[in-house]
Structure 1
């Protein structure tokens, strides 16, 4: 195998390089340090070129004293401008006449609680135990007091949530009564829409439903033939000329015992006799809409929240929100009411929840499981054999 002969110097040794930079060839005395800071003369030249007159600000921005003087001058000018604006506003503000001898209130004066030393000088003796504290008020004799019916709380609606009317025909008839009364009030006494109304009785219901809505119209114009009946409705709603209200007060409970002015059968006959066009009366007027809702809530006990009430455009929408079937008590009742699932051939319905025991009974394994559990001394159902949890005793402080 051939070998490379030895050389006098390494093959990979780099040859010395010469620097041809001009600055390196110059003598040290001829070199000069490079500075990036602009001179003052060049800065002044730029300022004079940008501004025709005297340039704003200090000439030397690097001088802290000059910059501080500039900030103070700007602050002084701002204060003078603000004081001038306040003076103009004070001059334009109307002067309020007041007492001349009234003393100005010291806003800086603080109210402090009396100290223990000052209380001792006044003869105050602090309590050392809870028995020495003076008891003010209390419940002594509170339960023995007999509150009269006038002191009982009575809401706007004469019906509570549990006592509201659920029959659809009765609700629809009462909505028509409320609509007639609201339209009459909006025509004869618009300010009465904001007041509280008397619930009324069967006579008031007959008087309101006797007025034709087709004759009144959506504008609330009462015809001359029914002017007297309309004025009677206005007086009835405001309680004018009524010696005593038709509502009775239950002496035992203190609540109003209201009566439904019409039965369900009579309401059904009346609803079928009316032309359904009256349900298309517009409720675009917000004052009429909220007044009608107030009267419907007073008569039926059904309250509609504002977000849903704002979306109603006609009387039919209001009736649909009030007249709705009661919610089913069980899921099976809702399924049968819907009527689609029971008709399917592969669907079987149960009136209670299907448990694992029911599934085992369906295939005939439950008797075998019951015998095996009894043979081993295990409970078939329930957990009465298990001990009570100890955490309950810990919470109650028992060992």
Structure 2
């Protein structure tokens, strides 16, 4: 019994267990590093305190007795009554317009304008001239006619390079254009943007993105830029991603399913129209081989019905066509009809209805 009791005490009485004096190399290096770091911090604090005491004598400090001449932050509840100061004025660089719905055509034109603005700004800076009112309120360093006169030149890798100015519009720019309009065909703009790429190592890319946000009044989400950077997408794909991200997403699952069903039905109808336009099976097979493979949206099924609200027994009766008979009998007997208020006769009308039915 004594042996077992002694073993029990040795197992659970950890304070009497002899500790090992061996320390591994990692722990020893870590302890030495922490000791050096603490000594360095203590020495720096001592040096700073000694330097402060040497540079700032105690006799030169005078405690303030009033608020005169001291800077203050905040107010005491009457900020609107205090006259505005120049430091209080703030002009945001981006004003988001929540009421306007983004249009893909406007997004394409805005991106073309932003690219021309930034490349023109780069050209003017390289010539040693100072542009007027650019990157302040979204104004352009060139006139409104320059957008249709210049041409964007791409590098061999497809990134934005410079502007080609055959008419010399950039040499004598007009007043800054607030109402920017592009008369180029949309197909030409799409063809140019489909070949162009962003170079995220070039500062001109950030300028284009900021100017594009100012013109379109749409903040560009980080996931969109991340997708463009990782997959090296073109500027046209960038606009498509931004158009998809800027549209409001449906809040209900029924709206998502209805949109999916409509998309599948439209795709099926379009495919049937194209098949009818090509009666020759050989030409049809050739067209199918030349077209890029795309994921075809599939309908939910012939026996699937999506409703925007919960289906009630009244909806089932209406689907069968029996609800008209039920409603007519309810009205004849003076009973309330579901979904309608105060259709049952009141007081004298109720008594007359009871007498007629009895």
TM-score by length of 2: 0.47
Higher relative helix content: 2
Q: Which has the higher contact order (CA 8 A, sep 6+)?
A: 1
